[in-house]
Structure 1
Amino acid sequence: MNNVVTDGVGSNITDTKAAAKAQKPAAKKRDSNLELFRIITMLLIIAHHFVVNSGLKDMDGPISSSPFTFNSLFLLVFGAWGKIGINCFVMITGYFMCKMNITAKKFAKLFCEVMFYRIVLQMIFWISGYEPFSVVNLVLTLIPITDLTQDFTQCFLIFFLFIPFLNTLISHISERMHIGLIFLCGLTYVLLGTIRGGPFAVDMNYVSWFMVIYVIASYFRLYPKKWTNNTARCGVLFFLSVTAAALSVIGCTAAGERFGRFAPYYLVSDSNSFLALIAGVFAFLFFKNIKIPYNRFINTIAASSFGVLLIHTHSDSMRQWLWGDVLDNVGHFSDKLMPLYAICSVIVIFAVCTVIDILRINLLEKPFFRFWDKKESGWTEKIKGFADRIFRKMDIE
């Protein structure tokens, strides 16, 4: 029997918590197609770092010294998908978030995850003696934003704050204007970014590039078309674009041998190059269309993909320890089973980092945000009241 109280004028008020629970809609479980894509994307990013952060591809590294051995060609193609993976990762964010509100809790989760790994991993390197402690490094560790050029994590944090403004923009323009914006961004970033060299240059910043990707992904969500929803057609385009990217690596390697410039990733070297964008877009569209119903295991693993990125790319010390000391990629370059070693290494890194992040989520994040939920309304009112007072003093409506 419901608890009933009287409001003083004869109306009945049922128990607030019971009513709220009854009226609250069941949370919709997200299908697992794009969650599986998120996992694959992160595996490709790790594979990229296996090659480019380990000394294998350095100018004095073993790949550049003998680029046409089987191991070299395998590793070059194996590690070619990092920038494409970044585009895919941000595209998933844009597709989902363009119809959602950014709350303080969402940003707090992202921020706390970033700072947790930033501080804890740095402390481990200091305590273990792997990296010397300094006051300057301590201060820099505690400052969340120090590099807004090519640092994915820091740029993603700032980009996340732009999402409410981007959503307001895309919801107030027509489809034609949306297409025009995409073409304008493509001309500004992609065309000149692909040509590069001579008078053509784009000094790209990841924050603004993530906005470009967001605009593209939001178009697919807001204006679905027959061709973008056709699994077979998108699958063919996905295969062709990925094949073109792989062939470009081999072709640029051959050209480098001919002209004395080792640049195998020239056409996929950054996220705003044409092949990196096209391969990312068609990969996203293909996985968007395949039908994989909710799978708890896939979705749980995918929820830790960002944590996997934060752990294995933490710092230069992490890169040296992981790729140089633990895995010794350069030392294993000539092994006959190098391809198998590379694949297994990527899978193990992903698995270990995922386990670590799942523990963080269950032991720290969930308890903290249960506390957050209890206090959020009070905090929100105080912050809103403070902001209102400031705006009134500044005569801002």
Structure 2
Amino acid sequence: MRSSNIELLRIVSMVLIVMFHFSVHGSWPAEGPLASDIAVECLSFGGKLGVNCFVLITGYFMVSGRLRLASLLRVVLETWFYSFALLGIFLIADPTLVTEEKLRRALTPIASGEYWFVTCYLALMVASPSLNVLYRHLSPAGRSRLAAAGFVAISLLPTLTTFNPIGNDLVWFFYLYLIGGWLREQRDGARPQCVLDPTRIVGHWGAERTFAGCVLVVWASMAAIGWARRELGFDFVGPDYLIWQYMVPTFFAAIGLFRIFAAWEMPCSPWVNMLAKTALGVYLIHDNPIVRAWLWPHLAWVYPLGPAAIIAFGLGSALAVFALGSLIDYGRIALLERPFFRWLERSWGPQMQKAGAWLADIGQPGARPS
């Protein structure tokens, strides 16, 4: 049975991601009022926070589980469906938005990285059995040291120096996946031992205080850097410097937010669980490159209304995009995905079971290639 508290975190994370896209893809003036620019920047903070939470959730459940062929296939087919369907719609409705580059990426959405998150996420899923082997062979002390070493190498040092020689999205996903598993172990009683283990630091500060403090730090930095750029010509880093997924405040905020939801004893909610299933579909619809080139410029009129209106409308539009995208994706699940997988089970059940067993055996103790 799905844990509705964690499923609710999926929904919250996707709403934060939509707010991020409202901020970074909007058609905002280059030199508008400082307060309005800061409001736009503040809405961008949750995007990479939401991405981090999605990967932490994956590790939380999968590090002690098994990769399932059906899960992998669902993500691939859903990505193809929305990429091809949205391409077809815009080729009919507004072909001027379909550039040659967007056409190429839409026809090969996974290989081309049309959706960077999906490309990295699928690579993470394929690598998960090997990551699970690594995780199982570490003692609790070893997991704490790995968490600390990764934190220093690909979060703390890049935050302090702006230089990240070994970090990229996939490496970061691997690290977050293992951290998600480590958070699960701590729920079951394990205790981090290394002083620089980020889960220990967040545990010491408290999840709520960590999350609130990190949000305030990032927002304050946006205001300070935005002011310094205008008044002093400061250009060493941009106002959005601390929002990226591996930056310490965003990383700690994600751990704090995850721990808040993981500790919440929420009763099972079929509605929450159903909406959470559509979260990936919401992402694939609204962050399709053709859709975002059409969608966000239509909302530029909100900027002259001032910072309060920008923040309120950013949140409202994120909720509206999630609601509409969720409704569309629920229809896809009911009309296409469920009938297809029932047919697949009837027609190719033995072959699917064999392939699933092969995937399940990868990384299991004593497994040998057949």
- What TM bracket, shorter-length normalisation? 0.7 to 0.9
Higher mean displacement: 297-306 or 121-130: 121-130
Aligned counterpart for 2:165 among listed residues 179, 202, 213:
202
Find the counterpart in structure 2 of residue 323 from structure 1. Answer: 296
Aligned-pair CA distance for 1:237: 2.4
Find the counterpart in structure 2 of residue 255 from structure 1. Answer: 228
Matching of residue 221 in structure 1 with residue 184 in structure 2: yes
Aligned-pair CA distance for 1:386: 11
- Compared with structure 1, are the counterparts of its residues 166 and 382 closer, same or farther at alpha carbon in structure 2 (3 Å cutoff)? closer
Measured in 2, the distance between the counterparts of 1:368 and 1:359 equals 13
Find the counterpart in structure 1 of residue 339 from structure 2. Answer: 367
- 1:26-175 equivalent positions in 2, closer than 5 A: 29-56=1-28, 61-62=29-30, 64-67=31-34, 69=35, 71-131=36-96, 140-147=105-112, 151-175=116-140
Measured in 1, the distance between the counterparts of 2:215 and 2:357 equals 52
Instruction: State the AA in 2 paired with 1:369.
Output: F
Measured in 2, the distance between the counterparts of 1:386 and 1:267 equals 42
Measured in 1, the distance between the counterparts of 2:115 and 2:151 equals 19
- Count of paired positions: 348
Aligned-pair CA distance for 1:135: 8.0
Aligned-pair CA distance for 1:193: 2.0
Instruction: State the AA in 2 paired with 1:193.
Output: P
Aligned-pair CA distance for 1:203: 5.9
Aligned-pair CA distance for 1:171: 1.3
Find the counterpart in structure 2 of residue 189 from structure 1. Answer: 154
Find the counterpart in structure 2 of residue 12 from structure 1. Answer: none
List alignment gaps of at least 5 residues for structure 1: 1-28, 388-394
Deviations 1:344-394 (A, max 9, x none): 21111111101000000000011011112223443247769999xxxxxxx
Q: Provide the secondary structure at the position in 2 that maps to 1:267.
A: helix
Contact 2:59–2:177 under 8 Å retained in 1: yes
Aligned-pair CA distance for 1:88: 1.0
Measured in 2, the distance between the counterparts of 1:144 and 1:72 equals 33
Matching of residue 242 in structure 1 with residue 212 in structure 2: no
Find the counterpart in structure 2 of residue 267 from structure 1. Answer: 242
Measured in 2, the distance between the counterparts of 1:340 and 1:135 equals 36
- Compared with structure 1, are the counterparts of its residues 136 and 260 closer, same or farther at alpha carbon in structure 2 (3 Å cutoff)? closer
List alignment gaps of at least 5 residues for structure 2: 192-198, 360-367
Measured in 1, the distance between the counterparts of 2:113 and 2:321 equals 27
Measured in 2, the distance between the counterparts of 1:283 and 1:386 equals 36
Find the counterpart in structure 1 of residue 305 from structure 2. Answer: 335
Matching of residue 212 in structure 1 with residue 212 in structure 2: no
Measured in 1, the distance between the counterparts of 2:240 and 2:49 equals 12
Contact 2:17–2:50 under 8 Å retained in 1: yes
- Compared with structure 1, are the counterparts of its residues 65 and 223 closer, same or farther at alpha carbon in structure 2 (3 Å cutoff)? same
Larger relative contact order (Cα-Cα within 8 Å, sequence gap ≥ 6): 2
Aligned-pair CA distance for 1:106: 1.0
- Compared with structure 1, are the counterparts of its residues 232 and 286 closer, same or farther at alpha carbon in structure 2 (3 Å cutoff)? farther
Deviations 1:204-226 (A, max 9, x none): 32122111101111101123358
Matching of residue 180 in structure 1 with residue 153 in structure 2: no
Instruction: State the AA in 1 paired with 2:332.
Output: R
Measured in 1, the distance between the counterparts of 2:353 and 2:180 equals 34
Instruction: State the AA in 2 paired with 1:363.
Output: L
Aligned-pair CA distance for 1:296: 0.9
- Compared with structure 1, are the counterparts of its residues 46 and 138 closer, same or farther at alpha carbon in structure 2 (3 Å cutoff)? closer
Higher mean displacement: 203-212 or 346-355: 203-212
User: Is the helix fraction higher in 1 or 2?
Assistant: 2
Instruction: State the AA in 2 paired with 1:66.
Output: P
Aligned-pair CA distance for 1:162: 1.0
Aligned-pair CA distance for 1:311: 0.7
Measured in 2, the distance between the counterparts of 1:382 and 1:174 equals 32
Taking only the aligned residue pairs, the percentage that are identical comes to 27
Aligned-pair CA distance for 1:396: 6.6
Matching of residue 290 in structure 1 with residue 264 in structure 2: yes
- 1:386-397 equivalent positions in 2, closer than 5 A: none
Higher mean displacement: 338-347 or 113-122: 338-347
